[in-house]
Amino acid sequence: MRSCLTALLSLVIVASSALAQAPKPNIILILADDLGYGELGSYGQKIIRTPHLDRLAAEGMRFTQFYAGNTVCAPSRSVLMTGLHMGHTRVRGNAGGRNMEAQSLRTGDITVARVLQQTGYATGLVGKWGLGELNSEGEPRKQGFDYYFGFLNQTHAHNHFPGYLWRNGEKVPLPNVVTAVGDTEGAGYATKRVVYADDLCAEDSRAFIERNRDKPFFLFVSLVTPHANNERSRVLGDGNEVPDYGDYANQPWKDSVKGHAAMISRLDRDVGRLMAQLKELNLDERTIVFFSSDNGPHREGGPDYEPEFFTASGPLRGIKRSLTDGGIRVPFLARWPGKIKAGAVSDHVGYFGDMMATWSELAGGRPPAKLDSISLVPTLLGRGRQEKHEYLYWEFYEQGVSQAVLLDGHWKAIRLKTLTAPIELYDLSSNLAEKPDVAAQHPDLVRRAAELFKSARFDNEHWKLTAAPAAAKK
């Protein structure tokens, strides 16, 4: 008996040692900008072609109820980076040029990039940041990224043919000729279009992978597509900028509609090229790739563009700037050959804040305490007990102050525009379109939501429910 126990103990020690010595996986997040829940083939899209992303879904896991950090850009990314929901994270709205401090991370904030960097990862950001300007406390190099290339300012990022991009604090001039619109540096639209920003970012992402192929790396590929150029929309009426319409050139659609579809298919092409590179470099089985979007679909491509044409929100109600699920429920895919079961579909309820706990566990890092973050590793790898959120919380600062909370994974409570508005309640398990309002039938859930609207958050110096800032539309 003693010899059997000794042998068993030895096997446990060997297994534990092997796990501890296993190489850390490379981690890649590819984030689209304003891509709706229904705009990928794997989520029901019938018109726009996304074969590479559909393959990623087929070879990995597709989540059916995953949420962005917010319904607009900057706060959603703040949740992603900090592992704190909208009641606790630093940046809670698009403040714009009126108050860039309100849209910047600070020195005391601990990002997931910082956690991975301290664990020995090479960390890179390529594309759009939006959480801190040059030489500010929120600049990527001060928030855990060894390297960055792309846009710092999200209004500058509206322009798909910009006059310059940033690389590690240095301005990289581009041959595009830009007509300025508004008072944000770099914002406007190109009158001479030579190079497309996301093409450059896709190339730079692959270069980062090549440079860091021999060590664990974290790469945040934060693409701008399919966000519209809002300034071009206002002046020229078509903000869905793309070098060409590709497969959609001969469709009998308005140009802005063709442009939107072409942007998504171009993004899909770039994902395919990145995935092919991982195989060419023999990194495929050492790399876990995630894909998502920062919020729901836009309607800012101009008067000729309507997201309903593509059923961009799928079966959900609302779009970007809505706290109904169409504004915050997003595609979420994860692929890791040999680790994540191919073709898996998960109804686990997760959100951007969970990336802090998930990536920290995968990397063997130590995240900060008191997070709003639960690791998805048990779901991804199919082992262990998956914890669940008791609730998810959002607040939104445009056109007044709105709040939303998801209770027990399916009860959605929303209070719109004022703190005294009646609380609406919807049962997502019976109607994804959040109809009808069943608040009158469930006063206990309404009381629970009302309490969370107070207790699940605290004010910070820039974002206060009782004295909300004038948030900017981005």
**DSSP letter, residue 67:** E
Residues 203 and 260 in one domain: yes
Check residue 3 and give its pLDDT: 46
Q: Which of 389, 422, 437 is the last residue of a domain?
A: 389
Q: What is the mean pLDDT of residues 419-436?
A: 97
Bridge pairing between strands 287-293 and 332-335 = antiparallel
Identify the band that residue 158 occupies on the pLDDT scale cut at 50, 70 and 90: very high
Q: How confident is the model at residue 4 (pLDDT cuts 50, 70, 90)?
A: very low
pLDDT of residue 16: 37
Residue 237 Rama label (left phi>0; alpha psi -120 to 50; beta): left
Confidence of residue 280 (pLDDT cuts 50, 70, 90): very high
What confidence tier does 23 reach under pLDDT thresholds 50, 70, 90?
confident
Q: Note whether 385 and 424 are same-domain residues.
A: no
In 337-347, which positions are buried (b, 16+ CB within 10 angstroms) versus exposed (e)? bebbeeebebe
What radius of gyration do the chain's Cα atoms show?
A: 22
Identify whether residues 355 and 396 lie together within a single domain: no
Q: Which amino acid is at 122?
A: A
- Residue 238 sits in the same domain as residue 264: yes
Mean pLDDT of 405-418: 97
Which CATH number belongs to the domain containing residue 148 in this structure?
3.40.720.10
pLDDT class of 474 with cuts at 50, 70, 90: low
**Backbone dihedral angles phi then psi of residue 6, each to the nearest 5 degrees:** -65, -40
Chosen domain end from 389, 405, 428: 389
CATH number where 450 lies: 3.30.1120.10
Q: Is residue 4 part of a domain?
A: no
Is residue 316 assigned to a domain?
yes
Q: Are residues 309 and 247 in the same domain?
A: yes
Token readout for 319 is 């779009």
Cis bond leading into 436, ω under 30°?
Answer: yes
Q: Could you tell me if residue 151 is inside a domain?
A: yes
What percent of the chain is helix, strand and coil (3-state, nearest 5)? 35, 20, 50
70 and 88 co-located in one domain: yes
Same domain? 299 vs 353: yes
pLDDT exceeds cutoff 90 at 471 = no
**219: helix, coil or strand?**
strand
Q: Give the model confidence (pLDDT) of 110-128 as tens digits.
A: 999 999 999 999 999 999 9
Task: Indicate whether 254 belongs to any domain.
Answer: yes
Q: How many domains does the chain have?
A: 2
What is each CA distance from 71 to 127, 226, 338, 436, 437, in whole angstroms?
19, 15, 34, 22, 21
Is 7 a member of any domain?
A: no
Mean pLDDT of 412-422: 96
Judged on CB neighbours under 10 Å (0-12, 13-18, 19+), 335 is: buried
The whole-number pLDDT of residue 466 equals 82
Q: Decide which of 389, 406, 438 is a domain's last residue.
A: 389
Based on the fold, state whether residues 76 and 202 are members of the same structural domain.
yes
Q: How far apart are CA 288 and CA 291, in angstroms?
A: 10
Strand order in the sheet with 411-415: 391-396, 402-407, 411-415, 424-427
Q: Which residues contact 324 (CB under 8 A, 6 or more apart)?
A: 316, 317, 318, 412, 414, 434
* pLDDT confidence of residue 399: 86
pLDDT at 97: 66
Are residues 80 and 222 both part of a single domain? yes
Confidence (pTM): 0.94
Residues 181 and 246 in one domain: yes
Query: Do residue 438 and residue 362 come from a single domain?
Result: no
Q: What is the pLDDT of residue 5?
A: 40
Residue 404: pLDDT band (50, 70, 90) is very high
Domain that holds residue 328: 23-389
Residue 470 lies in a domain: no
Residue 3 inside a domain? The answer is: no
Please give the pLDDT value at position 11: 39
Question: Are 127 and 267 found together in one domain?
Answer: yes
Q: Is residue 76 part of a domain?
A: yes
What is the secondary structure of 367-404 as a DSSP string? PPSS-S----HHHHHT-SPPP--SEEEEEE-SSS-EEE
